[in-house]
Amino acid sequence: MLPRRQRPPASGPWGPRPAVLLLAPLLLALQGVAAAPAGAGGPEDSPGLQDAEFPSGLLQQAARAALHFFNFRAGSPSALRVLAAVLEGRATVNPKKGCQVDLVFTTDHYNPEVGEEHLGKCSARVFFRNQKPRPAINVTCTRLIEKNKRQEEDYLLYKHMKQLKTPLDVISIPDSHGHIDPSLRPIWDLAFLGSSYVMWEKTTQFLHYYMAQISSVNQWKTSDDAIDFDYTVLLHEFSTQEIIPCRIHLVWYPGKPLKVNYHCQELQTPEEASGTEEGSAVAPTELNNF
Amino acid sequence: MTSKPANQTRSLMPSPAIKGEVQDFLVLCRRMKPLLGTLYLLGILAPEGLGYDGSLAQTRRGVLEETVSPWRNLDTYSYTKYHPMEEIYQWMVQITEKYTGVVTQHFLGMTYETRPMYYLKISQPSANYKKIIWMDCGIHAREWIAPAFCQWFVKEILQNYKDNPRIGRLLRNLDFYVLPVLNIDGYIYTWTTDRLWRKSRSSHNNGTCFGTDLNRNFNVAWCSIGASKDCHHLTFCGTGPVSEPETKAVSSFVESKKESIVCFLTMHSYGQLILTPYGYTKNKSSNHEELIQVGQKAANALKKKHGTNYRVGSSADILYTTSGSSRDWARDIGIPFSYTFELRDNGTYGFILPASQIQATCEETMEAVLSVLDDVYEKYWDSDSAVKMTLTAMVLGLLVSFMSVL
């Protein structure tokens, strides 16, 4: 996301405000490792615990996971959010079980309108199970868009999608030059919504994902009320730099929970000899209060 | 008839081995293409001068159009579009010709697929002893915004060095060496086959897997951490340190000039980061504090342009562990200011950054790079600080003599 305006003062003269990290005495007893202050230069996301197993950027990791989950659960392609900045956070580690991160972060519109100045704020509790994906997440955010407006935008998107000529004449979105035809923009947003579910499920404390490209639209059905969308997306996993193709099938109707089915190619992490990380899940969910 | 500067011909140095001669021949053919373009255009424009009449020119046009890309005027070259490699090759020739006396094109080495690697040297002739700024772009093929920035950077320097005192000052004591595309084979592959390809195109395991991550292939803590020995992986470190011809070309050259190089900048995307050494250890370089200070100043200058947030820190602290990176290698052979820039964006479009963002990205990055260069310049050549130091020394000397008299 591209902030086109001045950020609210979260930055000091030497960079982003260092995160406040507190560690429970119990934690120290469990770990047997002395807590160390944040690294030189004050990177805002370096954890207080300098431990070989503690990945750099744990707070950012947690924020991203929380946002993927939030976006999926909100089920609204016109109200997608991206991470703006992590304000504060703390991590507690249980070496046997995993690590829990409590944090506060700000968000921005995925699609900023020129001149708009909206910064939503979220607080989240994220629990990463040791090396396993699908972190448990509790997240609440302040409203970025008024509920009525959001519903209206969703419905407009839905109507626009219903009018698209099928079969869709697209090879990839965006094209190699990053261009998305404005008429196809809703497809990208809806695909991102579905991908959010997949990316949440696949995130661990070490792995995080971005949606790089829709490589094919396999099916786009709007004959019934709902949008029935079957597509292949390329996810970019940052720490391994790998590109993971995922086939995603989603069903969406404005205001209703998103239904997602997916199947991704295995991620060959360099550390594992022959690990397979496949996922396939149906996701009927209810909208929680947020 | 456009003539190539002498040193460009000299740079096609023949090697004793037959393979070298074949490579030279291929290089020569590739190099002739823009020349053919020149001849073709002149054939149309001045048929009498070259002894052709109009009708013959028409026929020639029909034939040549299939083999030679259409002539491109530097004045109409768009710096806000992504360009395929052929156009970048042409652009390098044209910019060298337009700014003769300040820019020269130099041969660096050959890629795995036997394509020539060229860098541009921007140097104002003077009696001063110059230090060198090195900038390379596109070591990872899919990071298209990086080569776009290298071209933008060259254009900005050349269009403004006469009128802009800030840039003019830099050129008084600094030479710029710019490698617009380091991983040429990979870059071409992203245009022809796979937009998200990252590595080079070297062949491994009897042609069952392709490509080395060139930024894991440098000879610094090679393959110790944050890289893979499996050729299928995108962080494959190669068959040994500096195993790849592209890495060899860059490191040989940079090594040979290391006494003069004060700044090594390697441009990547994405992530909006300014990274200092190291990636292979959490230990910090001896000048870490200074690097962070200069980096943060650059990030602030960048943000002033369009509000974009960049984070600054060592690679191991704020990104992930890596070994064999060009930035770490450059620092460890003694180049003091060594940075990796990860340009826009933050993941929204990632590698496939819309061309509509090229201008803003390049403008803000330019501010950051100029900020670094200003700091580097002031460290080594600021006459004000030199005068201050001399005066201070004099006063102290006088004080000491005065005290000894008492």
- Domain ranges for chain A: 58-264
Query: Is residue B247 pLDDT above 80, yes or no?
Result: yes
Q: A106 - beta bridge partners?
A: A85, A121
Strands A227-237 and B131-137: unpaired
Domain around B377: 82-195+245-384
Burial of residue B116 (number of CB atoms within 10 Å: 0-12, 13-18, 19+)? buried
Share in percent of chain B as helix, strand, coil (round to 5): 50, 15, 35
Burial of residue B397 (number of CB atoms within 10 Å: 0-12, 13-18, 19+)? exposed
CATH number for position B138? 3.40.630.10
Query: Is residue A187 pLDDT above 70, yes or no?
Result: yes
Query: Is residue A168 pLDDT above 60, yes or no?
Result: yes
Work out the number of other CB atoms within 10 angstroms of the CB of residue B227: 26
Asked if residue B258 is part of any domain, the answer here is yes
Is residue B222 within 8 A of residue B241, CB to CB? The reply is yes
Asked if residue B209 is part of any domain, the answer here is no
Asked if residue B65 is part of any domain, the answer here is no
What's the mean pLDDT when you consider all of chain B? 86
- Least CB-CB distance to A240: which of B234, B284, B348? B234
Residue B309 contacts A, CB cutoff 8 Å: yes
A10: tokens are: 């979260």
Query: Is residue B393 pLDDT above 80, yes or no?
Result: no
B287: tokens are: 């000048």
Is residue B302 within 8 A of residue B310, CB to CB? The reply is yes
Which DSSP state fits B351?
Answer: T
Query: Is residue B336 pLDDT above 70, yes or no?
Result: yes
Residues in chain A with CB shorter than 8 Å from the CB of B190 are 176
Residues in chain A with CB shorter than 8 Å from the CB of B191 are 176
Looking at the structure of chain B, the number of domains it has is: 1
- pLDDT (average), residues B3-21: 40
Closest CA to A231 of A204, A207, A264: A264
User: pLDDT digits over B73-131, tens only?
Assistant: 899 999 999 999 999 999 999 999 999 999 999 999 999 999 999 999 999 999 889 99
Closest CA to A190 of A176, A178, A207, A173: A173
Could you tell me the end-to-end alpha-carbon distance of chain B, in angstroms, rounded to an integer? 79
Do B81 and A177 make contact, defined as CB atoms within 8 angstroms? yes
Rounded Cα distance between A148 and A33, Å, is 51
Q: Which residues lie below 8 Å from residue B196, measured CB to CB, with a gap of 6+?
A: A212, A213, A234, A236, A243, B142, B190, B351, B352
What's the mean pLDDT when you consider all of chain A? 77
Do B234 and A241 make contact, defined as CB atoms within 8 angstroms? yes
- pLDDT (average), residues B254-282: 97
Asked if residue B322 is part of any domain, the answer here is yes
Q: A233 - beta bridge partners?
A: A214, A246
Query: Is residue A169 pLDDT above 60, yes or no?
Result: yes
Asked if residue B22 is part of any domain, the answer here is no
Could you tell me the end-to-end alpha-carbon distance of chain A, in angstroms, rounded to an integer? 23
The CATH number of the structural domain formed by A58-264 is 3.10.450.10
Structure confidence at residue A289 as a pLDDT band (50, 70, 90)? very low
pTM score: 0.78
Residue A61, CA distances (Å) to A24, A244, A279, B313 in order: 21, 19, 20, 17
Counting one residue from chain A and one from chain B, the pairs whose CB atoms sit within 8 A come to: 124
Rounded Cα distance between A123 and A146, Å, is 19
Do A178 and B352 make contact, defined as CB atoms within 8 angstroms? yes
- Least CB-CB distance to B312: which of A15, A55, A213? A15
Residue B342 designated active-site: yes
B187: tokens are: 């870059």
Rounded Cα distance between B287 and B265, Å, is 16
Asked if residue B215 is part of any domain, the answer here is no
Do A4 and B306 make contact, defined as CB atoms within 8 angstroms? yes
Do A7 and B309 make contact, defined as CB atoms within 8 angstroms? yes
